[in-house]
Structure 1
Amino acid sequence: MVDAARAQRLAKRITTIVASAISGEIKDPRLAHVTITDTRVTGDLHDATVYYTVMGSTIDAEPDYTEAAAGLAAATGVLRSKVGAGTGVRFTPTLRFELDTVPDATRAMDELLAKARAQDELVARAARDAEPAGDDDPYYHEDGEAGQDARG
């Protein structure tokens, strides 16, 4: 039977163990700018997908995703051993590392929202100074006069 709460607890624990091992115990320079963002564990607790992001070494530097992936692939065995020792489960889950695309999608969404706000500001500025193209009230009323309010 699948215990979703247990899988979530194990996923959190794996995230913590892998992140601390990468930051403190594994001395691979390719992993210097890797951040573990999330972990998902299957219902049978046999497989874990660990999501990570890579930050650039400086503000202007592009992250090296291929080197980070190679570093994680090389460290998978050590990381799995640490997960096994740190979780105490009967079967240590296999670890699969995937690049987390959420930060990129968030950045793209923020750029789209900024564009939309700028466009809205342009429309609001144009509407503020605009005048109606025709009469104030262009509809026909019962008294036969267009543009006049029949109520008075």
Structure 2
Amino acid sequence: MADATRPRKIADQIKVIVAGTIERRLKDPRLGFVTVTDVRVTGDLQHASIFYTVFGDDQDLEATGKALESAKGFIRSEVGKGLTIRLTPSLEFIADSVPEAAAHLDGLLAEAAANDARIADLARDAEPAGDEDPYKTRDDD
């Protein structure tokens, strides 16, 4: 049975190496403010999916994606130098959709809070719709 912690450790190392390479070694003007958010490595350590976010609009995201794809070979060689494994995994860069999903959830939560406040305002002056003891029977009179 394969050790599940090894791919996780390799993924953490790849994340540090890739982030450092993007920050210090790549001079591509298309690269914006890139953040490596996550790295996932297959169990056989042959493939690494690198998730990233970019500060900016969709145009910046597209330009950064192209820059990362063009620098993939260089980044892979840097990963190979930094890792202590026999084979360097192939790299795949994926734009992370977590920030957009988080922004959508924030919007939904704000909408729910506004609805709760509106309902609380309506309920503040409301009177109960019925007797004060709804379980009272005719025999109790």
The TM-score range, normalised by the shorter chain, is: over 0.9
Partner of 1:100: 96
- Give the structure 1 partner of residue 10 of structure 2: 10
Q: Which of 86-95 and 1-10 deviates more? A: 1-10
Name the structure 1 match of 2:33.
Answer: 33
**SS in structure 1 at match of 2:93:** strand
Structure-to-structure mapping, 1:124-139, within 5 angstroms: 124-139=120-135
Does 1 or 2 have the higher relative contact order (CA < 8 Å, sep 6+)?
A: 2
Equivalent in the alignment of 1:52: 52
Give how far 1:32 is off. 2.8
- CA RMSD across the alignment: 1.4
* Contact 2:32–2:55 (Cα < 8 Å) also in 1: no
- SS of residue in 1 equivalent to 2:110: helix
- Equivalent in the alignment of 1:80: 76
Gaps of 5+ in 2: none
- Indicate if the aligned counterparts of 1:23 and 1:32 stay in contact, CA closer than 8 A: no
How far, CA to CA, are the matches of 1:29 and 1:2 in structure 2? 42
Cα deviation for residue 39 of structure 1 reads 0.1
5+ residue gaps, structure 1:
57-61, 146-152
1:91 aligns with 2:48: no
Q: Residues of 2 paired with 1:101 and 1:32: CA distance?
A: 17
For the pair shown, the structure with the greater C-alpha radius of gyration is: 1
Deviation at 1:20, TM superposition (A): 0.7
In the alignment, the residues of structure 2 paired with residue 84 and residue 98 of structure 1 have an alpha-carbon distance, to the nearest angstrom, of 20
Number of matched pairs: 140
What amino acid does structure 2 have at the position aligned with 1:35?
T
In 1, the alpha carbon distance for the partners of 2:138 and 2:130 equals: 20
